Structure 1
Amino acid sequence: MTTKILLIEDDIKLAQFIEMELTCEGYQVSMANNGLDGLTQARQDPPDLVVLDWMMPSLTGVEICRRLRSTGSLVPIILVTARDEISDRVAGLDAGADDYVIKPFSIEELLARIRSNLRRIRKEDSNILHFEDLSLNLSTREILRSGKAIELTVREFELLAYLMHHPLQVMTRDQILEKVWGYDFGGDSNVIEVYVRTLRQKLEVDSSSRLIQTVRGVGYVLRLNK
């Protein structure tokens, strides 16, 4: 799958040069020439990485960082700027930027920073399960839906993780009992229904769409009904 990079830069000549170099490296590049358009693109078609100028019309790069992070976006952001004071770097990083490139810069440095940040996020992603607007971090046990944290019990987490490991696959009640509760489970046979009901209540706060569907007589499937 081609890596998507969003380039937000108001200097047209510089933006075109960076776009050409990134395209030659095999990246799929989309561009915005002001902060507001860039923020809109980042939200409507989330990229794999953002290269972001600090000083731009409508919204600064720092403000874009803040707004993306406030909605739960974890996309890697490389902030590009002529500001080289320590206080400026701290401000950019505190706003949510992952990395910092000072103008003027060599394209080789920018490409290296992009590769480094993509490697980091891919390593982290190996521990994160995604389905629609739901994410589950196996390492930190953090669950987010549309950027909002959801608190689950240990068993609720294990049940959701099992379903997210098998999206769009109908899992039978026996399979769920075996994998989530264990081979020697001898409790109430309705325990799955109870936990699914609780999970749905927690996942569907704010009228979010249902993700755990019942397949009558068989089991459950993680699927968005449209």
Structure 2
Amino acid sequence: RFLFAADDVVVPVGQDGLVANVAKYLDGQPVLGVNPAPDLYDGVLVRIGVGRLGKLLAASIAGNVGIESRTMVQAELDGGETLLALNEIFVGHRSHQSARYRIEAEGEAENHSSSGLIVASGTGATGWARSIMEATHLDLSLGREEHAVGFWVREPFPSVATATNLRAGKITESPLLITSRMNEGGVIFADGIEQDFIAFDWGRQVQLQPASRALRLVVDQ
């Protein structure tokens, strides 16, 4: 419910997930991720020590800091709703089983029955996407600032009505198009927050691609 002003400097203090959660509400403001407990938090996104905050906060206000422009993922539904994520967006069934949909990518299309799919940024490629890549050996190279996202289908099932060829790929210019074939229970959610979902039932369509917005993460130099 909080509205960020265009000239704000945003300082999440805590776990890495705080940066991912706040990123979707920003539009160009610099973000200083502060790690108050390096022995507890990995510091992938909260990379600034408490002792460095004062100097970097002043430098950020003056516009005199290094910035990483982290690519985000955008989902846009046929009804006009949009969803942004720093790590990944999930499309599937709320049970994580038996999601049915039509997938279209780079001029190819097929019907799927799977455990859903994720579309991840270069930042998210080190998280959920990484575990899928390690399990399936469907590796994609994604830079954190590269204007591209990757998609991975989870456990696609082959049958007379469903195929498994479109299992992974990189999306740059042409969006990934998903059409729901689920009578009920279809969902889309961002960055692992399942309770904050958009319903994705029969006939609804969603386009997924790199977002026009990016997270401007301050670099501790």
Task: Give me the TM-score of the superposition, normalised by structure 1.
Answer: 0.31
**Bigger fraction of residues in strand:** 2
**Bigger fraction of residues in helix:** 1
Larger C-alpha radius of gyration, 1 or 2? 1
Task: Give me the TM-score of the superposition, normalised by structure 2.
Answer: 0.32
Indicate the structure whose relative CO is greater, using CA pairs within 8 Å and at least 6 residues apart. 2
